[in-house]
Chain A
Amino acid sequence: MDKHGVDKCVIANINGVFYKNTQPANEELFRAIKPYRHRFIPFAVINPTYADWEHDLDVCRGGLEMSGVRLYPQYHDYEVTHPACIELVNAAREYKMAVAFSLRLVDGRQRSWLDVDRQLSLDDIASVVDKAPQARFIVLHALIGREKPATVTTLERADLVFDTIYGSGCGVAGPVAYDLAAAIRKYGKNRFAFGTAAPFRDYVSPFLRIEVMKEADDDTKRLIWAGNAQRILGIGRQGLAEALVETRDGGHGDNRSPEG
């Protein structure tokens, strides 16, 4: 993070995907990042179909100081419109926590025979937004451009950001990517937040996507690097102040991240 100019990053414990009871994963994360708490923005992994998730969420927001919730319906085996999922999204809103949905963890083409054969789409996210319109959403591994027109209308109304993992800033996008400039024209410059998917993906490509984008002005790039994530996380510029004072030394012209 220091070398690449990242001040803070959103982080969740991948072990939460595999635990039936996800709370130990959140406790592991809390312990692991404690010495570096000022650099990480922890998200709790919650399975709303498991017993006593309400208490877990309360602990995560309180004692474990988590800023958001990350959901994996495909791995925890429920539909995004399951009443418990909607209840969790609304509860997170009450706690002023953002809700992140990861549309996929692994490229389906290279999945293991042990892995699930299911990915979420932006249409799935729209169905959640319809039922919990006041929540704040982060869409991870978003692929823009394949969603239904009705989905676009719904997502435009939501307080939501997409990550830039599949965005292309050079004006040409392959079949598993989207043209970032075109997506900004479609959804607006307040809807995209820089993300890396580290440590699972290389830690250079995500930066290049923004670096080479000539279509975006400095203001738009500042929003992508940090501003939009700050808004959705509810931390504002002050929230990064402590880290920025000690880490900024030029580099990118403005602070980077938090990552999605």
Chain B
Amino acid sequence: MPGSTQLRLGRRQFLAGTCELAAGASLKDRAPGQARREAVQRYDFQGEIRRYRKIDAHNHLLSAPPRAVIEAADRLEIERLAISIPQGDQPGEFRASNDRVLKAMAEFPQRFLGQCFVNPAYPREAIEELLRCIGRGMVGLGELYTQVKIDDPLCYPLIEKCIELRIPILMHVRGDLGLLRKGHRLEAPATTSTPDDLAAIGRRYPEAIVIHAHIGGGGDWEYMCKRLRDVPSVYVDTSGSVTDEGMIEFAVRHLGASRLLFATDENFESGVGKILAADLTEEERRMIFRENFNRILKKRENRAD
């Protein structure tokens, strides 16, 4: 298990306990000078990377070409990656983004799982594009971005179509202070979905497979998990650049390991690292790294193992 319990200090514990907690950290209860002579089983980073099969539930072709993404995935032993290009407000533009994803899927058919991006502000074109992409082998809708909030009625036809197709909907969500509380600076468009919006849509469509993107993607992850605790149909992916100590354990405690999906959102090392570092059971790690998303894929018998 990576990290001792002494190292698992959350920000709150640290602030409450003053620096003694941090400074004493892993050497607590040992006599000075004695600690370093004890036999310590070293953490095998490469071995731990190889130990778990992984499907990345949320990634993109944005900052790097397909081959570079595959090479990055290889370094972290990620077998398959759900990818999208959430760019383009107009129908012609989002079709072009999806065409690039389809091309990458054709180039690496065993590695890329396509996700279809649309702008729900164009309901007819969005449905047509979703059907086109699913027909060509994509596995889900998303990452829907900031054009329309997920609980806007414009999204209802798309969600109902996804229920019919038994495919997941990956939704970009932010829990920034500026979005959650009036009067604070907005860092994202006002049309960005919040955890409150996800909870609302999860209650409206409990049969939908809705995925709350990146609890580590910026925003108050404690708020996110607590808001979704009693909305069991909503999954949460673990991606994002935030790797706060205790975040994954908090999510497991409030949502359960069966609702968490391993993902990187282009943050490969921290995507894997935060799951390896978390105080989880072997079974929980396997569920999060691969089994939960594979189970979602099986609902359509589409590209699951």
Contacts and interface: CB of A to CB of B under 8 A. Distances in A.
Interface residues of B, number: 71
A201 B244 contact: yes
B218 A107 contact: yes
Contacts of A233: none
Interface string B1-29: 01110011101001100111111111100
Contact of A5 (B19, B42, B75, B218): B42
Nearest to B175: A110
A117 B27 CA distance: 36
Contacts of A28: 18-20
A209 interface: yes
B245 A202 contact: yes
Interface in A202-251: 202-209, 211-212, 214, 243, 246-247, 249-251
B296 interface: no
Determine chain A's interface SS by DSSP, over half rule.
loop
Nearest to B32: A35
Interface in A113-137: 113, 117
Nearest to B26: A1
Given A13-B19, A198-B7, A202-B243, A39 B64 contact: no
Given A28-B18, A204-B276, A212 B75 contact: yes
Contacts of A251: 42
A118 to B, nearest CB: 11
Contact of A110 (B40, B242, B266, B276): B242
A177 B11 CA distance: 22
B115 interface: no
Interface stretch (B65-73, B136-144, B151-159, B253-261): B65-73
A29 B196 CA distance: 41
Given A3-B4, A25-B19, A29-B23, A109 B218 contact: yes
Interface residues of A, number: 60
Contacts of B176: 109-110
B285 to A, nearest CB: 12
B41 interface: yes
Given A4-B43, A205-B273, A176 B241 contact: yes
A39 B80 CA distance: 41
B22 A11 contact: yes
A63 interface: no
A174 interface: yes
A168 B23 contact: no
B63 A199 contact: no
Interface stretch (B96-104, B179-187, B226-234, B286-294): B179-187
Interface string B31-58: 0110111101111011011000000000
Interface in A14-49: 14-15, 25, 28-29, 31-33, 35-36, 38-40
Contacts of B48: 204
A1 B28 CA distance: 12
B256 to A, nearest CB: 20
A101 interface: no
8 contacts: A1-B25, A2-B27, A109-B176, A113-B184, A169-B75, A176-B267, A199-B8, A211-B46
Given A3-B42, A25-B19, 14 more contacts: A1-B25, A4-B42, A4-B43, A39-B36, A109-B175, A110-B242, A170-B76, A172-B68, A175-B266, A202-B270, A205-B269, A208-B76, A208-B270, A243-B36
Interface of B: 2-4, 7-9, 11, 14-15, 18-27, 32-33, 35-38, 40-43, 45-46, 48-49, 63-64, 68-69, 71-72, 75-76, 174-177, 181, 184-185, 187, 218-221, 241-245, 264-270, 272-274, 276-278
